[in-house]
Amino acid sequence: MAYSAFRIFRESLTGNRGWKPVWREPEPRPDYDIIIVGGGGHGLSTAYYLARNHGITRVAVLEKGWLGSGNVGRNTTIIRSNYMLPGNQPFYELSLKLWEGLEQDFNFNAMVSQRGVLNLYHSDPQRDAFVRRGNAMKLSGADPVLLDEAGVRKLCPFLDFDNARFPIRGGLWQPRGGTVRHDAVAWGYARGADRRGVDIIQNCEVTGFLIDSGVCKGVETARGPIRAKSVAVAVAGSSSRVMAKAGIRLPIESHVLQAFVSEGLKPVLPGVITFGAGHFYVSQSDKGGLVFGGDIDGYNSYAQRGNLPAVEDVCEGGMAIMPMIGRARLLRMWGGLVDMSMDGSAFIDRTEIDGLFFNGGWCYGGFKATPASGFCFAHLLATGESHPVARQMRLDRFRRGKLIDEKGQGAQPNLH
Amino acid sequence: MLIPCPFCGHRDQAEFAYGGPARALPELDGQDGTHAWRTALYSGYNPRGPVTELWFHANGCESWIQITRDTVTHRITRSCLANPREREP
């Protein structure tokens, strides 16, 4: 049943006895048209768009733990489309457009809040680079605004503009960027997919793939084999390990990215702010906590915890632009596993095994991509062809020399 | 994380720069050049567990060192200089 103001009113009059569980907990059937491995943001949005856009509902989402127990529940919730390269920017702009209509579309309050994203610049060359980036954003229909120092002062008067080392000269402002309630994204997509007939099966770890003569015909799970015409893997953080079960070696390394939340403070930040001379990004949650993060730890890791040098680096970045946060106490911090790809960009592609599809390599930026990732992955699964905006996100781009090297760092996953 | 440098002893991880998992590079004049080099450069060596990797002691003795570290527990079981010719006999 759909959520609405009328529904809340009616339930309040009838003792709130009409609310039902948001999704079913079905037993797995022996076979499906499509199996999606991974019940996180990308897997659930793929299932949702398969049902909604393509009418394919004989679909199962297999999750080893509980829904949204991976990176969709442990990120810094920022959405934006301020990329530059043609292989990336149109995709992220599609994602932002989907974010804008998401809550009405899946009838769930995901608290999409377009409070704006501000990237600070600290020198003339950096301004020129941001002008170039802004122009690239405009080509895809995004909304960059180049602010000078006065413009940033009006927006964020509390920043350390006259910092001796990194004075703030201005910023690239994307008003349509913002933040989203991350867990609600997983729940909203799960509910939307479930209502259209998709089976969401939790506590069902995939232990292997049923591969016969180079064709994938299903998966082995902790609850027995399940057959399918196509198997789609979206398990960011564990991509290398899951795909190794199919004998595929990916251009990905696993790294740990930390995130931090301060104690609750009165409203102080208007939107998302990023430091241009180091790596630090911060926003303020509706509860008042400053949510911030920075670089990955920089070495291969499967430990869901980070080390102190990265913490120090993040906090130095924060203090450089906002000395006032030095008095805020840290409430909690955590680390999550991210797929760092060799060129810093993602994959939505078929694999060398027929019927086995792969979505991953989102580095530390997978959350903002959630809607478009599912949209384009569903398009690939349903039609057999890449969606136009995801056409360059191919696994064989290293062989063809068509890297999407947004940062220009080369094949060094720890530097992207 | 403390990294045991064979020259300087246990030092803070912040003094080191990461060099990635140690990988064997193909012969420069090898026959299957493209495929071997593509695999060596772009295929991630990404095990969950012990991995042999390179670190550069940038703020220390400036040696490249090779350690075996568990990617889950960060336990380091072996450490030596990366260049075999610099190792003691």
Confidence of residue B89 (pLDDT cuts 50, 70, 90): low
What is the tens place of the pLDDT at every residue in A389-408?
999 999 999 989 899 999 88
Which residue in A22, A405, A342, A39 sits closest to A186, CA to CA? Answer: A39
The pLDDT value recorded for residue A378 is 98
User: What pLDDT does residue B45 have?
Assistant: 85
Chain A residues touching B71 at Cβ < 8 A: 254, 300-303
B71:A300 CB<8 A:
yes
Q: Is the pLDDT of residue A82 over 60?
A: yes
Q: Which of residues 200-259 of A touch B (CB under 8 A)?
A: 240-241, 249-254
Angle at the Cα of A104 (from A103 to A105), degrees rounded to 5? 90
Contact assignment for B21 to A300 by CB distance below 8 Å: yes
Residue pair A204/A62 in contact (Cβ under 8 Å)? The answer is yes
| A412 touches B at CB < 8 Å | yes
Q: Is A195 exposed, middle or buried (0-12, 13-18, 19+ CB in 10 A)?
A: middle
Count of pairs with CB atoms under 8 A, one residue in A, one in B:
63
Closest residue to B73, CB basis, from A241, A303, A308? A303
Mean pLDDT for chain A overall: 95
| CA dihedral for A107, A109, A115, A120, sign (positive or negative) | negative
Instruction: Give the mean pLDDT of B47-54.
Output: 94
CB atoms inside a 10 Å sphere around CB A270: 13
Residue of B nearest to A243 (CA): B46
pLDDT value for B86: 77
Handedness of CA A82, A87, A90, A91 (dihedral sign): negative
A299 touches chain B (CB under 8 A): yes
The verdict on A300 touching B (C-beta cutoff 8 Å) is yes
Residue-wise pLDDT for A107-139, tens only, equals: 999 999 999 999 999 999 999 999 999 999 999
Calculate what percentage of chain A has a pLDDT beyond 90. Answer: 95
CA atoms of A366 and A292, how far apart (whole Å): 16
Selected for mutation to probe chain B from A235, A255, A302 (highest B CB count within 10 Å) is A302
Of A299, A312, A399, the CB nearest to B18: A299
Residue B67 pLDDT > 60, yes or no? Answer: yes
Instruction: Calculate mean pLDDT across residues A165-192.
Output: 97
Could you please state the CATH topology (level 3) that the domain comprising A112-176+253-341 is classified under: D-Amino Acid Oxidase; Chain A, domain 2 (3.30.9)
Q: What whole-number distance in Å separates Cα of residue A187 and Cα of residue A344?
A: 28
Say what angle helices A370-383 and A89-106 make with each other, to 10 degrees: 90
Least confident of A65-74, A325-334, B26-35: B26-35
- Cut 0.80: pTM above it: yes
Averaged over A319-348, what is the pLDDT? Answer: 94
Q: How confident is the model at residue A318 (pLDDT cuts 50, 70, 90)?
A: very high
- Which chain A residue's Cα is nearest to B12? A309
Chain B closest-CA separation from residue A96 CA (Å): 30
Q: CA-CA distance, B41 to A346, in Å (whole number)?
A: 17
pLDDT value, residue A212: 94
Inter-chain residue contact B42 with A301, CB threshold 8 Å: no
Q: Name the residue ranges covered by the structural domains of chain A.
A: 5-78+84-93+100-105+182-250+343-415, 112-176+253-341
Of the partner residues B42, B43, B72, the one whose CB lies closest to the CB of residue A303: B72
- Tell me the average pLDDT across A150-177: 96
Is the Cβ pair A414, B38 closer than 8 Å?
no
pLDDT, position A409: 83
Q: Going from the N-terminus, what domains does chain B have, and what CATH number goes with each? A: 2-86 (3.30.2270.10)
Q: Provide the percentage of residues in chain A whose pLDDT is more than 70.
A: 100
| pLDDT for B88 beyond 70 | no
Residues of B contacting chain A (CB within 8 angstroms): 1, 12-14, 18, 20-21, 38-39, 41-46, 48, 51, 53, 71-74
Q: What is the band of B15 on the pLDDT scale with cuts at 50, 70, 90?
A: very high
Q: Do A301 and B71 touch (CB under 8 A)?
A: yes
Instruction: For residue range A211-258, list pLDDT tens digits in order.
Output: 999 999 999 999 999 999 999 999 999 999 999 999 999 999 999 999
Q: What is the mean pLDDT of residues A363-376?
A: 96
Which tens digits make up the pLDDT trace of A48-66? 999 999 999 999 999 999 9
B35 pLDDT higher than 90: no
Confidence of residue B11 (pLDDT cuts 50, 70, 90): very high
Q: Does the pLDDT of residue A377 top 80, yes or no?
A: yes
Give, in order, the Cα–Cα distances in Å from B12 to each of A12, A254, A329, B78: 59, 22, 25, 16
> Which fold does the domain A5-78+84-93+100-105+182-250+343-415 belong to in CATH?
FAD/NAD(P)-binding domain (3.50.50)
Return the structure tokens found at B76.
Answer: 């380091």
